Chain A
Amino acid sequence: MSEQPILRVQSVSKRFGGVHALENVSVDLFPGEVLALAGDNGAGKSTLIKVISGVHRPDEGKISYDGAEVTFENPQKAREQGIETIYQDLALADNLDVGANVFLGREPMKRVLGLPVLDRKKMRTEAAEALRVLDIRINRFDLPLRSMSGGQRQAVAIGRAIHWNAKVLIMDEPTAALGVPEQRKVIALIKSLKQSGVGVIFISHNLVDIFAVSDRIVVLRRGQKVGEAATQATNSDEIVRWMVGG
């Protein structure tokens, strides 16, 4: 594992009214590391990733990214810096093809007879390249995502994040909506992502997935960090004990 953490969350607290959604939580993420975030419903996992990705601002504590303290006004700003979040719904336009989705909102243009037109070829070839880097093969780039499988769509969402130079990728339950074979493929995808030096925060309820893919596990309960361990040094019994507080 490399020297400097790409992301440091230090003593962050977040309150909604009287509810302590996060209390004094500290987490580090290193480049090329997969950090699993575990915890029961309402443990604060979502709040934590929303604080990191710029949806919420912390009430106390600070976040450093790439060695410097940061405050993101909104998710757009976080994304521009290289912190991408892939939510469960993937945020894809299912009626458009792969290239259009990778370049959604940032479409390249070219000039034909002096008129600006969409550069479809560039979108297609660069999208193909982004997916190839991730070791994903999709042979029809002209079809809408609607006609693709859940795993492929997940791959497109990840490919898009990587193409725009994500250094930190937050994945919220990436395997939850998938069948077992596709879950395995997404796990393989996360492993290859790790190889390219991206730091991944992986939220899951599924302990099998967590143990299959993560390097380190952080467990939250009622807004507090109640446990942290290297994946190799722990087991699911311990994690469950932390989760339920037994």
Chain B
Amino acid sequence: MHELSIAQEIINIVKTSLPDGHQKVKNVKIRVGKLSGVLSDSLKFCFESIIYQTELEGALLVIEEIPVQIKCNECNSISIIDNPFFQCKNCQSFDVQLISGKELEITEIELED
């Protein structure tokens, strides 16, 4: 539901990161964790809607989805989980810490040649 404001934040950061007299923006690369509360397709749609008929029109939002990764505090194994259970896949313990999945970061802006 808040993808529109997230898209606006991305555009604000991109605009302030561009050098003077820059070429057209081709791609904006971001990392979105599966536990970030952001839906990638919706975010792309909002991004395209906001940049329509602006200097950024045509830029693509390239999203790298980051899986939810946990580390077990008992056996130290690392598991990737694709269901909501925060449980170690090795020893079944629920005593785990989150090591990735909450990311919401801009990593790169690619400009045209």
Q: Do A and B come from one complex?
A: no
Interface residues of B (CB under 8 A from A): none
